[in-house]
Amino acid sequence: MKTSKPFLPTLIEQIIDFIDIFHQSRISRFFSKKNLDILIDIGAHKGEFTIHMLKNNNLKKIYLFEAQSSVFKKLKENLKPHQKNLSAYNIALNSYDGVATFYENILSSTSSFKQTSNSSWVTFKKTVLGSKDIIKSQVDIETYKFDTVYMSSEKKIDQIMPDENSLFKIDVEGCELDVLKGADEFITKRIPKYIQIEENTFNIYQIDDRAAVRKFLKDRGYIRKKSFLFPLCNFKDIIYQRSN
């Protein structure tokens, strides 16, 4: 049976990371004029987004959440110089407190609680990787609502006030609606001024929640402010702002 060469996924991820530099730089420059105080980075991966934000923003406090233990180690290494104002959690966020099946993909940046669909984009990705399946393993892990973590004294997340300029960034590979539902109390109180959502441009997951995400945010008083399309056109980051 034909299998992919061991170096291929790593090489592709390096190429994507290189392209991502341009994409993340645009977003961080956009926020450089917003006087952000706090960043909550959900789906922080290896800290790529946070590192770019630190270059152009004078952030007072940063909270990072990453579900994958192996990736979390790299995240801690990459952000070691910024530990003073940073708190990192190896925690998976969801719409409930409990256990869920997590699918670890060949490309770690695409691991998710959701299985991929049979769309043309997924087929193309499998072809490029030389693999019949982009999922390399699946594991049951504990998940938590953001509201639960935020209210936990053990997690030591400072109280965030609506008058502080905070960014609630969610990049969780198709599970954005689940994270939003788990942070409903935090969002309904209109605490974050900005919410950034990754939205795939192809129907790559078995369940498509894109329209539901937009309605969720609209119903809670957040309006679409800006959109940044990734150079490969497979996703875009959309920034929503609190209406008042």
- The residue-averaged pLDDT of 58-81 equals 94
How high is the pLDDT of residue 7? 53
Q: Which residue has the tokens 């990459």?
A: 78
- The side-by-side arrangement of strands in the sheet containing 166-170 is 86-89, 61-65, 38-42, 166-170, 194-200, 235-242, 222-229
- List the domains of the chain with CATH numbers: 7-19+62-167+178-242 (3.40.50)
d(CA 203, CA 117): 7
pLDDT grade for 207, boundaries at 50, 70 and 90: confident
Average pLDDT in the 211-221 region? Answer: 97
- Match 């790299």 to its residue by tokens: 74
Rounded CA-CA distance 228/24 in Å is: 9
Instruction: Indicate the pLDDT class of residue 38, thresholds 50, 70 and 90.
Output: very high
Concatenating the DSSP letter of every residue in 6-63 gives THHHHHHHHHHHHHHHHHHHHHHHHHTTTT--EEEEES-TTSHHHHHHHHH---SEEE
- Mean pLDDT value across residues 126-134: 67
Per-residue pLDDT band at 84 (split at 50, 70, 90): confident
Q: Which two tokens stand for residue 35?
A: 């006087």
Rounded to the nearest 10°, the torsion over CA 217, 218, 222, 227 is: 80
Report residue 233's pLDDT band, with 50, 70 and 90 as the boundaries.
confident
The answer on pLDDT for 3 being more than 70 is no
